[in-house]
């Protein structure tokens, strides 16, 4: 009986040492851990210990945010919007900024020159409509159409004489002719050394070679 007492004492001392060591390491571990609020627990996020606290009013709240990386999405942070595909964004901008095709303007037709123009004419003594009509670019019929009669031929006065427009016959070898009252395509042709067919071709006359008194034709110089 006496021999067993030392063994019991040794066992008790060993257990006490083990308990004391365990308590010491437990206290060290507790001291190393940060203060944990009530109703919280510790979890690991991407290799970092994070303390989570349960808040019935706000839901889950993370304690110790400074330990998290800036890339974590947490409650209260601005949501990260998906980035549009650069190719689709470029196509969208192209469609918005693209200008509508420019319509090609149609050419404006050039108006034909007026066959008749007016030039100042000073009336001389003994002037007559017949004498003035000896000019090829005017006629008695043409003057009558614009109200010029023998009574308007007062010596010294200036009248606006209607004459054939040179621009109406742009060819260098042609000149305007004012058709008289008794003129025909055949008589005009004989006067200027051409046939009635040539006169019709030059001026686009109809098949009947019709000419009108007071009209302007183009004839050879």
Residue 57 lies in a domain: yes
120-157 pLDDT, tens digit per residue, is 999 999 999 999 999 999 999 999 999 999 999 999 99
Cβ atoms of 160 and 143 closer than 8 Å: no
- Domain with 32 in it: 4-62
Decide if pLDDT at 184 tops 60.
yes
Rounded CA gap, 159 and 124, in Å? 11
Residue 75 lies in a domain: no
147 with 214, same domain?
yes
Residue 137 lies in a domain: yes
Phi, psi (degrees; rounded to nearest 5) at 103? -70, 135
- Please tell me whether the overall predicted TM-score, pTM, comes out greater than 0.75 for this model: no
More confident residue, 50 or 64: 50
Which of 32-41, 66-75, 116-125, 212-221 is predicted with the least confidence, judged by mean pLDDT?
A: 66-75
Listed in sequence order, the residues at least 6 apart from 55 whose beta carbon sits closer than 8 Å to its beta carbon are 61
Residue 32 lies in a domain: yes
126 with 33, same domain?
no
Decide if pLDDT at 82 tops 60.
no
**Could you tell me how far CA 211 lies from the centroid of its own chain?**
53
Q: What is the CATH number of the domain that holds 185?
A: 3.10.350.10
């Amino acid at each position: 009986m006496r021999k067993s007492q030392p063994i019991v004492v040794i066992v008790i001392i060993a257990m006490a040492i083990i308990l004391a060591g365990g308590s010491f390491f437990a206290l060290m571990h507790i001291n190393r851990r940060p203060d944990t609020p009530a109703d919280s627990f510790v979890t690991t996020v991407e290799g970092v210990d994070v303390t989570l606290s349960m808040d019935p009013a706000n839901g889950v709240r993370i304690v110790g945010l400074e330990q998290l990386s800036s890339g974590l999405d947490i409650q209260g942070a601005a949501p990260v919007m998906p980035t549009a595909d650069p190719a689709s964004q470029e196509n969208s901008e192209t469609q918005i900024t693209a200008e509508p095709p420019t319509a090609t303007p149609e050419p404006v037709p050039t108006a034909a020159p007026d066959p008749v123009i007016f030039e100042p004419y000073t009336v001389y003594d003994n002037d007559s409509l017949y004498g003035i009509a000896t000019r090829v670019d005017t006629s008695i019929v043409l003057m009558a159409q614009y109200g010029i009669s023998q009574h308007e031929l007062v010596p010294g006065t200036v009248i606006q004489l209607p004459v054939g427009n040179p621009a109406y016959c742009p060819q260098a070898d042609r000149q305007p002719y004012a058709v008289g009252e008794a003129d025909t395509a055949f008589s005009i042709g004989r006067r200027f050394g051409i046939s009635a067919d040539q006169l019709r071709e030059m001026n686009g006359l109809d098949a009947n070679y019709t000419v009108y008194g007071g009209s302007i034709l183009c004839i050879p110089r």
